[in-house]
Structures are given as C-alpha cells and as structure tokens.
Amino acid sequence: MLESSIPETVSFSPSFHELAIDRTIVERDLGYRKVPAPEIVRQVIDEILPEVPLRLTIQCGFRILPLELVSLTNEGILCGDVQISTGPIIANQLKKSKTVALFVSTAGPLLEQWSQQLMAEGDMLKGFLVDAVGSEVADRTSEWLEKRIAEHVAPHGWAMTNRYSPGYCDWPVTDQQKLFSFLPPRFCGISLTPSSLMIPIKSLSGIIGLGPDVLRGAYQCSICDLKDCFRRMDESELATEQR
C-alpha cells in the first residue's frame, strides 16, 4: 500500500550534469525552434554553461499528501479544510487521482545574482542568457524530480499526471501560500513573498496527481488560456518539442 509508505517529505540535490542541459536546449527555450540562433548567442551560451555548475545550489523535493486528507472537487482539491482552487482546467486533469504530490524545485539564488550583475554592468545579452539558463535549470530540476516521484509510486502500481503550477490555467498565484502551508518552512531553501513570489526567483512549485488510473499527457498549450504567454507553442512547435 502506498499509504503505509508515504514519507513526510523527500528532498534531493541533483547535480547540473544530471539535468542534461546543453546549448540546443537553451536555444530552443529562447524560441529558436524554426530558425537557428545567431552565432553570438551560441558563443555566449557556450561561455556561460561551464560556469553554471559553480553558481548553482539545486534543490528539489516533494510531499505526497495522505489519501485521507485529499478529496477532489470540480474546482480543485480539498486538503483537510484547505481548498486549493486550481480551477476547472487543472481539476479536470486531476480527476482520477487518489492523492497529489506537492513539489518544489530551485536553481538557488546565485545564477539570478550573476544575471543581475551582468545586466548592471551593461552586458544585457549575457545577463539575459544567464537568466534563461536559470529558468531552464529550475524547469529541468522539476522534470528530474518527476522521475523520482514516478519511481516512488510505480512499485505500488500508481502513475502520475503532468505537473501543474499556480499561475497557469486559471490557478491563482495566491494559492502558493496554501500549497506551501503543507510543506516545511523554507523547504528546499524556498520562501514566499507576501505577493506569492518564490525566492529564489528561479524556482518552481506545483502539484502532480497520483493514482492507479491517472494518465500523463503530452505537454499542451491548448488547455491554457494565456494566449499571449511567451512560452506558448503552436501545434507544429509542440510536435517538434515532443520528438
């Protein structure tokens, strides 16, 4: 039974190497999917990447909420007496879940500081590219963590949904406060500002539905209504992304 093996929280510190981030991944994230990135962008990314591991404090972790604490509604998840209002889009994706894993991941504060320093010195391009690498690290750390969660639940015959974060698909960012209330203070070194911004900024948080009957779908932008999102991809871009 999964219930008997549910730990309070689990945390990890994967290395940069384990995240397998290379230049092409960063280029693609910058938008260069149909056209190649300019040579100088490639050069600067190549210059940045060897320095990145020295400026990282990657941490990530999760907590699987006890089954008896969780009930799913059309609007989100009721955890004890706390209503997490993911909104109907995410609630629909979670509907077959028995419980949820709350997760966080962070690249730490140093990349962000490096980026700000470069920009203050007038090197906007390198500062921006360091920032982009920081976003990629936080994102890839969450992906890496998903695999650990999958390994954790697979022996019990359970699967997991995609991960969902406050701020997307109509889930209010203010719910970060509720999500973090189920985690230890400063879990993985992450804290929240009153406006629900995570510090360090290069951090991610969210939920993943778990259960024997849930499915993990392909990444899709069509379920989200942030039409002007800078990361929004059309169908052909998504197809390229998933190959």
Partner 1 sequence: MWPVIPIIDAANEHFRTHQHLREKPMNEILESLQRCVERGKVNIKSPYPPDMKGQDGADELAKKAIEMGVAPQDILSKALIVGMQNVGVRFRNKEIFVPDVLMAAKAMAAAMEHLKPFFKSDELKHKGTIVIGTVLGDLHDIGKKLVSMVIQGSGWEVIDLGTDVSPDKFLKAVDEHPGCVVGLSALLTTTMVNMETTVQHIKSKHPGIKVIIGGAPVTGEFAAKIGADHYSPDPQGAVEYLNTRCTPN
185 vs 194, beta carbon nearer partner 1: 194
Strands 159-164 and 99-106: unpaired
- E-assigned strand segments in 51-202: 59-64, 70-72, 77-79, 82-84, 99-106, 159-164, 191-192, 198-199
Judged by phi (left if over 0) then psi (alpha if -120 to 50, else beta), residue 12 lies in: beta
Question: Residue 218, exposed/middle/buried by CB under 10 A (0-12, 13-18, 19+)?
Answer: exposed
Q: Specify the residue, 65 or 201, whose C-beta has the smaller distance to partner 1.
A: 201
Q: How far is the CB of 200 from partner 1 (least distance, A)?
A: 11
Q: Please, what is the minimum distance in Å from the beta carbon of residue 91 to partner 1?
A: 18
Shortest spacing between CB 33 and partner 1, in angstroms = 10
- Nearest residue (CB) to partner 1, 146 versus 175: 175
Q: How far is the CB of 236 from partner 1 (least distance, A)?
A: 12
- Tokens representing 71 are 């009930």
Q: Which is nearer to partner 1, 95 or 189 (CB)?
A: 189
d(C-alpha 226, C-alpha 52), whole Å: 31
Q: Which is nearer to partner 1, 30 or 110 (CB)?
A: 30
In whole angstroms, the minimum distance from the beta carbon of 201 to partner 1 comes to: 6
Binding site for partner 1 (CB under 8 A): 30-32, 35, 37-41, 116, 119, 124-125, 128-129, 131, 167, 172-174, 193-197, 201, 226, 228-230
Phi and psi at 106, nearest 5°, equal -150, 150
Query: Radius of gyration over alpha carbons of the chain, in Å?
Result: 18
Contact 87, 167 (CB under 8 A): no
Write the DSSP assignment of 195-243 as a string of letters.
Answer: T--EESSSEEEEEEEEETT-------STT---TT-TT---HHHHHHHH-
CB contact set of 158 (below 8 Å; sequence gap of 6+): 2, 98, 210, 211, 212, 214
Closer residue to partner 1 in complex, CB, 15/193:
193
Q: Which is nearer to partner 1, 120 or 218 (CB)?
A: 120
